[in-house]
Amino acid sequence: MTSKPTKAQRDLGRELRRLREGTGLSAARFGQPHGWSQSKVSKSERGGTLLSPSDVEKWARAAGADEDTTARIVDLATELAAESKDWSARRGSLADRNAYIGDVEAGSTSVHNFQPSAVSGLLQTADYARRVLMLIDPDNEHKTADAVARRLERQTLLYDVSKRFEFVLTEGALRWRPGPPALMRAQLDRVMSVATLPNVTIGILPQDRQAEMLQLNGFTIFDHGDRPFVLVETYHEDGRRDDEETVASYRRVFSRLLDEAIVGDEAMSLTRRLMDTLPATDRTLYEPRTDLVRGFFVSAISRDTD
């Protein structure tokens, strides 16, 4: 399935279409001298095909655009090209990906994260993070230790009271155990500790209450400068969307999930009860059974469980 064009891509496309229509030429005739098919011209005007900055400059010159307009749309094309390259590069390394997400979080005024199956990355202890990342990358091709370090570095932003963090976790996410009971006791204690920060809200969706909506996949909304976007997690990739309609849709979903969740003392009481259900001592110490998942997450090494 092809991703929808982002708002910035559509904005560039509208500018290109406006310039082309100003010449009075059809898409086919306008593109012919430059070797662009009618389909490529049309897709570029819809934002579906991202032209290189040099091609955008050719387009502007062919349409007789003034210098200011040419410079503006070439700058936009350059920004989009760099963003696309940057995002794709971050998919190849767990450490680089965590560093990239950390940069995005540092530039965001607020972060809203939903996790249905595991504790959010910003809330994870070192050992929990290590085991999660080992399950994602069982062959350690991407240097799990480096990725854990980057993830923990990101967590320092939680103490910046100028930023707002909202997390919604299912009870199942808190019950899921990637390690022995001692690991989970430390992890649940970590969740309760972070919940005391004045700029952090942690909501939990209890299993013993009627659900008001489906809890499908994890996602994070970043209020990043003047271009907020949502990062949607699936098994095979993480999709970044910044078009207004999609971001607004995920804001509504998150708002409903947070309204349904328990927060404050009630949420921490449930977390303590989950801690009490853990065995008092660990009968066995074990490492993640990476042999059982080897190959299953090969195409999902970019997952962050934010």
Look up residue 12 and give its amino acid: L
| Residue 83 Cα distances to 6, 42, 87, 105, 302, angstroms | 12, 22, 6, 16, 17
If pLDDT is split at 50, 70 and 90, which confidence band does 242 have? Answer: confident
**Confidence band for 3, pLDDT divided at 50, 70 and 90:** low
Q: Which two tokens stand for residue 73?
A: 């749309």
- Is the pLDDT confidence value at 26 over 80? yes
Long-range contacts of 191-194 (CB under 8 A, 24+ apart): 191/119, 191/123, 191/271, 192/268, 192/271, 192/272, 194/122, 194/123, 194/158
Selection from 193, 207, 204 nearest residue 158 by Cα: 193
Q: What is the mean pLDDT of residues 122-149?
A: 87
Task: Give the 3-state secondary structure of residue 241.
Answer: strand
Higher pLDDT, 244 or 271: 271
pLDDT beyond 60 at 293? no
Long-range contacts of range 27-33, CB-CB < 8 Å, 24 or more positions apart? 30/62, 30/63, 33/62
Q: Report all structural domains of the chain as residue ranges with CATH numbers, in order of start.
A: 7-88 (1.10.260.40), 93-300 (3.30.870)
Q: Which residue has the higher pLDDT, 239 or 210?
A: 210
pLDDT for res 98: 84
Q: How far apart are CA 230 and CA 104, in angstroms?
A: 11
Indicate the helix (H) or strand (E) that contains 220. Answer: strand 219-224
Give the integer Cα–Cα distance in Å for 121 and 238.
15
* Phi (first) and psi of residue 77, to 5 degrees: -65, -40
Residue 286, both tokens: 């074990």
Helix%, strand%, coil% for the chain, nearest 5 = 55, 10, 35
- What tens digit of pLDDT does each residue of 32-84 get? 999 999 998 998 999 878 788 889 999 999 999 999 999 999 888 877 776 65
Calculate the average pLDDT of the chain: 85
**44-48, 63-67, 146-150, 219-223: least confident range:** 44-48
Q: Is the pLDDT of residue 304 over 70?
A: no
pLDDT at 301: 37
**Long-range CB pairs of 1-6, under 8 A, 24+ apart, other chains included:** 2/48, 3/239, 3/241, 4/241, 4/243, 4/246, 5/46, 5/47, 5/48, 5/243, 6/47, 6/80, 6/229, 6/240, 6/241, 6/242, 6/243
Q: In the predicted model, what is the mean pLDDT of residues 87-97?
A: 63
